[in-house]
Amino acid sequence: MGGPRWNILSPAPGGALSGGSPVTSQMAHRAEPPDGGWGWMVVLSAFFQSALVFGVLRSFGVFFVEFVAAFEEQAARVSWIASIGIAVQQFGSPVGSALSTKFGPRPVVMAGGILAALGMLLASFATSLTHLYLSIGLLSGSGWALTFTPTLACLSRYFSRRRSLATGLALTGVGLSSFAFAPLFQWLLSHYAWRGALLLVSALSLHLVACGALLRPLSLAEDPAVGGPGTQLTSLLHHGPFLRYTVALTLINTGYFIPYVHLVAHLQDLDWDPLPAAFLLSVVAISDLVGRVASGWLGDAVPGPVARLLMLWTTLTGVILALFPVALAPTALVALAVAYGFTSGALTPVAFSVLPELVGTGKIYCGLGLVQMVESIGGLLGAPLSGYLRDVTGNYTASFVVAGAFLLAGSGVLITLPHFFCFSAPTSKPQDLVTETLGTKVPLPSEGLGEE
């Protein structure tokens, strides 16, 4: 009675009981995510995968000075290497999602790991910046696009009640690797120069293949009803709550990264020394790590839609951002940095947990890829807008206030999601799913947040 529930789906049009030929093939589908089991191995895979993608991206700045000196190029041109990689990873996410829907996440992520490693390998032979644009930016970026979204989507299919906690634990890999990789890469540069260091980073990236091998496809009862990638995309583009949620995340993304880009510069405007100012970012990173785990636990423990918790963390983050220009004393700035790190880290796992409640786990691959592609627009525009406001006003006051306003606007959109004020946790069953058992169609429970 406590074991897994299964629906037996019969693809044959007729059955033995209806007078037709016997059922020739049957496929067993788990009725709901197992909330554990092999899912914890998927969490482990996602932990290392997030570290090997975003840990490398966050720490890649240590190569920046080496590239400027080696190719005698302007800093702005060298900066495009990482920017192209990030852009390709974000905009290529729907491709990884579509391929995972058709072939499953395991071969897609393993192929992505090979591309990411190959890009770093070819970069070690670079003779120009164009070579680095193509190898690291395009090739490794394409590999990253095939790894992150499919892995997080696969994790979402394994968990329901513990989804926020599982996601929070998986994403702690980003914070931990950011601490480890920056000094590691610097050590590699000092001992092997930048070409040798890139060869070793290539070997490190190849471990993404092992991460992909841990992903075991999970068949759920709702899968036959959601159709292929094209059908899913069409339905999502007409899904009101999904579109509003995408708008909310885009607004949040616009202001979310401003402290990572301009907090050090803001502190230097206040006459802070560069070293303490940079150390404050480490304080933010530590708080971010704690916030992700705490929020993941709360997301599963607090009843009601996860979107409500996401709105809380987003609102607090927006208020804290707007308060940065007001704080002048070092103690107040450190307190705000700790608070920002915690709340901004806390909103990340629940942001990924809301999506399955909106569209169902059957559409999670396509939905997550589409969300990441659109929300990346906010991430790409936020920093330039903040810099423009600094140039116009002469300080970062308007930059942080506007960044906070974007997050508060995103919170306002989250309130419009269906069942936001309900006091029970929604299910993630799709609204239109029917199962055909021995020729009889049986509707399953409607999707928790439904379509509009």
pLDDT tens digit sequence for 265-274: 788 888 888 7
Domain count, the chain: 2
More confident call, 419 vs 141: 141
- How far apart are the C-alpha atoms of 94 and 365, rounded to whole Å? 8
Q: Where does the pLDDT of residue 439 fall: very low under 50, low under 70, confident under 90, or very high at 90 and above?
A: very low
Are residues 207 and 237 both part of a single domain?
no
pLDDT grade for 282, boundaries at 50, 70 and 90: confident
Domain carrying residue 291? 226-414
Within a domain: 140: yes
pLDDT at 263: 82
The mean of the pLDDT values for the chain is: 79
**Do 207 and 233 belong together in one domain?**
no
The C-alpha angle with vertex 153 and arms to 152 and 159, in degrees rounded to 5, equals: 90
Quick one: pLDDT at residue 424? 55
Q: Say if residue 258 is in the same domain as residue 154.
A: no
Query: What is the distance of C-alpha 433 from the center of its chain?
Result: 27
Residue 371 lies in a domain: yes
Q: Which of 324, 295, 306, 316 is nearest to 424 (CA)?
A: 306
Question: Which pLDDT score, from 0 to 100, does residue 450 have?
Answer: 37
On whether the CB atoms of residues 28 and 6 are closer than 8 A, the answer is: yes
Least confident span in 127-131, 215-219, 289-293, 332-336: 215-219
Give the model's pLDDT for residue 275: 73
Confidence at residue 15, expressed as pLDDT on a 0 to 100 scale: 36
pLDDT at 345 over 70: yes
Q: What is the pLDDT of residues 124-168, one digit of tens each?
A: 999 988 999 999 989 999 999 999 889 988 888 888 888 888 888
Residues 208 and 314 in one domain: no
**91 occurs within a structural domain:** yes
The reported pLDDT for the residue numbered 438 is 32
Q: Identify whether residues 166 and 209 lie together within a single domain.
A: yes
Q: Is the pLDDT at 234 greater than 80, yes or no?
A: yes
Highest mean pLDDT of the ranges 203-212, 371-380, 410-419: 203-212
Strands 6-9 and 27-30: antiparallel
Q: Can you give 114-140 as a three-state secondary structure string?
A: HHHHHHHHHHCCCCCHHHHHHHHHHHH
Q: Summarize the confidence of residues 4-20 as an average pLDDT.
A: 36
Task: Read off the pLDDT band of 226 (50, 70, 90).
Answer: low
Task: Confirm whether 345 is domain-assigned.
Answer: yes
Q: Which of 190, 213, 236 delimits the end of a domain?
A: 213
In this structure, are 169 and 302 located in the same domain? no
188 shares its domain with 281 = no
In a domain, residue 408? The reply is yes
Residue 450 maps to a domain: no
Select from 174, 189, 213 the last residue of a domain.
213
- Last residue of some domain: 213, 246, 263? 213
Contact in structure between 152 and 25 (CB atoms under 8 Å): no
pTM beyond 0.75, yes or no: no
Residues 136 and 237 occupy one common structural domain: no
Task: Judge whether 30 lies within some domain.
Answer: no
In a domain, 422, yes or no: no
Residue 309 sits in a domain whose CATH number is 1.20.1250.20
Are residues 55 and 168 located together in one domain of the fold?
Answer: yes
Look at residue 20 and tell me whether its pLDDT is greater than 50: no
Do 144 and 248 have their domain in common? no
Does residue 196 share a domain with residue 261? no
> What is the rounded average pLDDT of the residues 265-288?
81
109 and 240 belong to one structural domain: no
